[in-house]
Amino acid sequence: MKKVILIAALLFSSNSYALTQKIEVLGMVCAFCAQGIEKSFRSDENVKDIFVSLENYFVAIESNDGKIIDEKLIRTIITDAGYDVKKIEVVSDTVSEIRTKYDAK
């Protein structure tokens, strides 16, 4: 019974907020790099917002309606652009919060 309640809670909660994935990227060194990656992800209908931090070598992607962006798609877009993915993780901050935190530094 506990599993059913937990699954129901997860399903309900995943539809009520967006998820943010933070991707550590190796090899990203210029604004042109960041712009290309951002443009590639913005074309995906599941992407709500994106932030690329060249200084900290990561991309943060916020999805629409709590949907997670497929890890294979993330890796494909980044590797096709000529970079390597070091790590992908789901974080609790929104892209707006991440942008504010890193732009303030």
Write down the pLDDT at residue 47. Answer: 94
Which stretches of the chain drop beneath a pLDDT of 50?
A: 3-16
SS (H, E, C) 71-88: HHHHHHHHHHCCCEEEEE
Identify the helix (H) or strand (E) that includes residue 105. Answer: none
| Alpha helices for 1-105 (secondary structure H) | 2-14, 31-42, 71-80, 95-103
CB within 8 A of 15, min separation 6: which ones? Answer: 65, 66
Task: Tell the CATH topology of 18-103.
Answer: Alpha-Beta Plaits (3.30.70)
